[in-house]
Amino acid sequence: MKGLKYQLKSVLKDKFCLMTFLLPMVVAVALNFMGFIDLSSLGEHHFGVLKNDLPPHTAAWLERYGPVTVYETQEELTAAINEPSTNIIGVKADGASIKTVVAGDELDIFRQAAVTLPSLYEQREWAEKVEIQTLERSDILESFQDIFIPAVLIVAMFMGCTFNAMNIISEKEDGVAFVNEILPMTPSQYILQKVVVGFLFGSLSSIVTACICFRLSWQNFGLLPLIVLSSFVAALIGLFIGKLSESLMTGVVYIKIAMLAFLAVPIVCALIGVNGPLAVICNIVPSQPAFDGIMALSAGNMGTAIKDIGILAIHCAAWFVLYILIFARHKSE
Amino acid sequence: MREGFCALFKKDCRMLASGKFFLMAAGFLALYTAYVNLGYIRFMQMPPYNVYLYDPAGTQTEVSSLVHAVASLEAMDAALLSDANGVGLDASAEAVRVVLYAGAEHVDHHRADYALSLLRPSAGSAPEIIGTNTPEQKARKEITCELLFFELAAVGFLGIAAVLFQEKGMGVIRVHAILPLQKNLFLLSKLMVFLLSDLAFAVLLTLLNVGLADGAALLPAVLLQTAILSLMMALAGLLCALLLKDFRQFTLAYLIIAIFAATPVFLSANTSVKFDWIDYHPFYHVYMGLKNAYFGVAASLVYYIGSACAIALLFLAVQLAFRREMGKEG
């Protein structure tokens, strides 16, 4: 217990650890407030017209669909249309009708808008008379957040990995690792102390993040075993990284690679929709069952969530046994 | 002097190799290439809005092939619920009714009128195309530029600082203070190693992701911009590493740069979200220089003069900090 107190003290002094502890919570708060940021202009159509080219009523009609920018010269309009960060559609008068000018590198949605704009202009009087029923959408960014929230939670769950790795690397750099070798402490006591630090902080970070993201209710209680098991696996992986890293620099590189793999595998699997043997292989990365479990719980699929909890439990046992085996062999050498 | 420089250069290369820096760069190159070719190009698509038509009596006869017919009003509601950007057209009564989920006002007007236009498609005139890139070429150039900028601004910055902290810890700066070598060689060899590795990274990333023919044509301009950004970031990394006490403090500075410096630049340079103050952000101009190189737009003379001045100023600052550090060590 006294050893554990020292471990906690050393972690709390480390700015890097505290920063990684707070980061998922800050991102979770930011995600919650994302609904207030006006990103609506991202999907809007932008039009560019030449000065004194379009009749005033045509320009006014065009403004119904999006911002219209007036350019003094043809060169300026061409440059604006070709500008790669925007999808400006150039609009010119063509007798009684209009014609459109595009760069040709737009996404389909903007190209289709340019193709149909002249016929929209021709049919404007009929379109104005048609009844439009607008339904309320609860949250435009909801689908966007569906994948972000589990991703942030994964980062929080696997924070324990950073804690343990940084803790062991600091000990190595300060020479404490050598002192530990001769202390009257059994390997299991050492592992326990180290795992508990990463496990506690990882779990705490994930629980607070989950509370912010899901505004925790009893419905989400199933998240707890997922959080506990993932944090335990992450803490064990952190021990491996700490042991393998010779310096702080290599440690940071290993942590970044581990974090990248933890995030990339489940997100790519979710986006591509991996099935069959490949899906089973992906479960080797422990964040995959955790991510899958969170998605299953939010969809109310308890069967899949229980299966994922089982996979995580196997991970816990396998990583623990692997560490004991390697550590015991290293000791006997 | 030449021998001294070569010895320092070899030592820096060995140090980066032992710190697995080159391995990490190769890993990131493989990851970025896989992401661009297997992920980004496949997912960066935005099809036109789906239009669902409920027309039990078959009153609409000229409907475009882009319209999806649905069997009932419930089916239309279900389709709109799962595809909130879609538009429903209810032609069961005498007059057609448009049903859609609310979004931004301008977009809603366009969605409704676009859906109606598909009921009476007209040949119309095809838009005039004035650009040279296809959507895929644009997407490839855009993402390659973003990844290169991220790699140089974030990963390179972190790499050079990590190397210098390691040397500081090992007492190399102290040893260097008493060596009969010109003091600037220490800084120049580091800059050279990072510049060369960044240039090699830029060449491979561009050729693998933009394509051999397209990429080779862009390389001269891209390499010039890469050199500017690489020198700036390496000097900034050196300065931070010399001024800050340890690597942990540096990671805080790194996080601030990564989040607060890069995010607004990415938003302004790649989307229609424009900030009024973005012209005062130095990263924005450097990023736009790199982006213009990928899209074949020439940068202004003022930009090159500004970049040269910034590099010279940063070098002077690094030189000062280095001499101060040597004085402290010695």
Summarised one tens digit per residue, pLDDT across range A105-126 is 888 888 888 888 888 888 877 7
Round the average pLDDT of chain A to a whole number and report it.
78
A124 with A147, same domain?
A: no
Q: What is the pLDDT of residue A214?
A: 66
Q: What is the pLDDT of residue A197?
A: 77
Q: Which residue's structure tokens are 């630049």?
A: B265
Q: Domain ends where: A129, A158, A175?
A: A129
Residues of chain B with pLDDT > 90, as a percent, come to 12
Q: Do the domain assignments include residue A107?
A: yes
Check CB contact under 8 Å for B46 and A109: yes
Distance CA A182, CA A238 (A): 22
B89 with B232, same domain?
A: no
| Higher pLDDT, residue B20 or B90 | B90
Rounded to an integer, the average pLDDT of A213-223 is 64
Q: Do the domain assignments include residue A299?
A: yes
Give the pLDDT confidence of A88-108 residue by residue, as tens digits. Answer: 899 888 887 888 888 888 888
Q: Do the domain assignments include residue B28?
A: no
Q: Which residue's structure tokens are 């010279």?
A: B312
3-state secondary structure at position B6: helix
Check CB contact under 8 Å for A133 and B49: no
Instruction: Give yes or no for B27 touching A (CB within 8 A).
Output: yes
Q: What is the pLDDT of residue A209?
A: 79
Give the pLDDT confidence of B218-247 residue by residue, as tens digits. Answer: 899 999 999 999 999 889 888 888 887 766
Reference B242, options B165, B156, B163, B159; nearest CA is B165
Give the pLDDT confidence of B38-57 residue by residue, as tens digits. Answer: 877 776 677 788 889 888 88
* pTM to 2 decimal places: 0.71
**How far is the CA of A121 from the CAs of A35, B53, B67, B97, B198, in angstroms?**
34, 22, 20, 19, 51
Q: Domain ends where: A129, A150, A171?
A: A129
A229 with A163, same domain?
A: yes
B80 with B145, same domain?
A: no
3-state secondary structure at position A108: helix
- B186's CB contacts (< 8 A; 6+ apart) are B8, B173, B176, B322
Distance CA A41, CA A38 (A): 7
B166 with B239, same domain?
A: yes
Give the pLDDT band (50/70/90) at residue B271.
Answer: low
| Higher pLDDT, residue A68 or A217 | A68
Check CB contact under 8 Å for B39 and A268: yes
Instruction: Give yes or no for B255 touching A (CB within 8 A).
Output: yes
B249 with B171, same domain?
A: yes
Q: Do the domain assignments include residue A135?
A: no
B96 with B158, same domain?
A: no
B181 with B256, same domain?
A: yes
Q: Which residues of B169-202 are buried (b: 16+ CB within 10 A; e: fewer)?
A: eeebbeebbeeeeeeebbbebbbbbbbebbbebb
User: Has residue B259 got a pLDDT over 70?
Assistant: no
State the best of A253, A262, A263 to mutate against chain B, taking most chain B CBs within 10 Å: A253
The shortest CB-CB distance from B272 to any of A42, A101, A107 is to: A42
Q: What is the pLDDT of residue A138?
A: 55
Check CB contact under 8 Å for B110 and A41: no
Domain count of the fold of chain B: 2
**How far is the CA of B250 from the CAs of A66, A284, B169, B174, in angstroms?**
45, 34, 14, 21
The distance of B43 to chain A (nearest Cα, Å) reads 9
Q: Please give the residue of chain A at the shortest CA–CA distance from B95.
A: A130
Reference B209, options B5, B82, B36; nearest CA is B36
A239 with A193, same domain?
A: yes
Q: Please give the residue of chain A at the shortest CA–CA distance from B126.
A: A115
Return residues 58-117 of A near B (CB < 8 Å): 64-67, 78, 81-82, 84-87, 89-90, 94, 97, 99-116
Rounded to an integer, the average pLDDT of B119-145 is 83
Instruction: Give yes or no for B231 touching A (CB within 8 A).
Output: no
Output the DSSP codes for A33-46. HGGGS--GGGG--E
Q: Which residues of A46-77 are buried (b: 16+ CB within 10 A; e: fewer)?
A: bbbbbeebbeeebeebbebbbebeebeeeeeb
Q: Do the domain assignments include residue B239?
A: yes
B319 with B173, same domain?
A: yes
Q: Do the domain assignments include residue A134?
A: no
State the best of B113, B142, B265, B270 to mutate against chain A, taking most chain A CBs within 10 Å: B113
The distance of A186 to chain B (nearest Cα, Å) reads 31
Q: What is the pLDDT of residue B286?
A: 86
Check CB contact under 8 Å for A131 and B97: yes
Q: What is the pLDDT of residue B227?
A: 94
Instruction: Give yes or no for A118 touching B (CB within 8 A).
Output: yes
Q: Do the domain assignments include residue B14?
A: no
**Which residue segment(s) compose the domain that A90 sits in?**
41-129
Q: Do the domain assignments include residue A195?
A: yes
Q: Domain ends where: A129, A155, A177?
A: A129
The shortest CB-CB distance from A104 to any of B80, B129, B291 is to: B129
| Higher pLDDT, residue B309 or A25 | B309
| Higher pLDDT, residue A267 or B304 | B304
Half-sphere exposure of A39 (CA within 13 A, CB side): 12
Return residues 297-326 of B near A (CB < 8 Å): none
A76 with A120, same domain?
A: yes
Q: Do the domain assignments include residue B42?
A: no
Chain A residue numbers with beta carbons less than 8 Å from the beta carbon of B131 are 81-82, 102-105
Chain B residue numbers with beta carbons less than 8 Å from the beta carbon of A114 are 127
Check CB contact under 8 Å for A105 and B134: yes
Distance CA B29, CA B17 (A): 16
Q: For residue A210, give the H/E element and its range.
A: helix A187-214
Instruction: Give yes or no for B247 touching A (CB within 8 A).
Output: yes
Distance CA B131, CA B129 (A): 6
Give the pLDDT confidence of B284-322 residue by residue, as tens digits. Answer: 888 888 888 998 888 888 889 999 999 999 999 998 988
A270 with A192, same domain?
A: yes
Give the pLDDT confidence of B273-282 residue by residue, as tens digits. Answer: 666 677 777 7
Q: What is the CATH number of the domain that holds A121?
A: 3.40.190
Q: Do the domain assignments include residue B280?
A: yes
B152 with B296, same domain?
A: yes
Q: What is the pLDDT of residue A55?
A: 85
**Which residue segment(s) compose the domain that B89 sits in?**
51-117
The shortest CB-CB distance from B248 to any of A14, A84, A101 is to: A14
Q: Do the domain assignments include residue A136?
A: no
User: Has residue B264 got a pLDDT over 60?
Assistant: yes
Q: Please give the residue of chain A at the shortest CA–CA distance from B131.
A: A103
B107 with B154, same domain?
A: no
Chain A residue numbers with beta carbons less than 8 Å from the beta carbon of B27 are 257
| Higher pLDDT, residue A331 or A317 | A317
Instruction: Give yes or no for B252 touching A (CB within 8 A).
Output: yes
Q: What is the pLDDT of residue B221?
A: 92
Q: What is the pLDDT of residue B226?
A: 93
- A268's CB contacts (< 8 A; 6+ apart) are A274, B39
- A70's CB contacts (< 8 A; 6+ apart) are A49, A50, A51
User: Has residue A184 got a pLDDT over 70?
Assistant: yes
B85 with B184, same domain?
A: no
Rounded to an integer, the average pLDDT of A224-251 is 83
Distance CA A301, CA A326 (A): 38
Instruction: Give yes or no for B80 touching A (CB within 8 A).
Output: yes
Q: For residue B100, give the H/E element and its range.
A: strand B97-101
Check CB contact under 8 Å for A78 and B45: no
Check CB contact under 8 Å for B127 and A81: no
Domain count of the fold of chain A: 2
**Other beta carbons less than 10 A from residue B244's beta carbon:** 16
Q: What is the pLDDT of residue A36?
A: 47
Q: Do the domain assignments include residue B34?
A: no
- Answer yes or no: are the C-beta atoms of A161 and A198 closer than 8 Å: yes
B140 with B83, same domain?
A: no
A238 with A305, same domain?
A: yes
Return residues 167-226 of B near A (CB < 8 Å): none
User: Has residue A139 got a pLDDT over 60?
Assistant: no
Give the pLDDT confidence of B182-224 residue by residue, as tens digits. Answer: 777 888 888 898 899 999 999 999 999 998 888 888 899 999 9
Rounded to an integer, the average pLDDT of A21-34 is 72
B145 with B275, same domain?
A: yes
Of the ranges A9-18, A140-149, B91-100, the best mean pLDDT one: B91-100
Check CB contact under 8 Å for A105 and B135: yes
The shortest CB-CB distance from A249 to any of B108, B162, B268 is to: B162
Q: Do the domain assignments include residue B123?
A: no
Q: Do the domain assignments include residue B40?
A: no
Return residues 19-38 of A near B (CB < 8 Å): 19
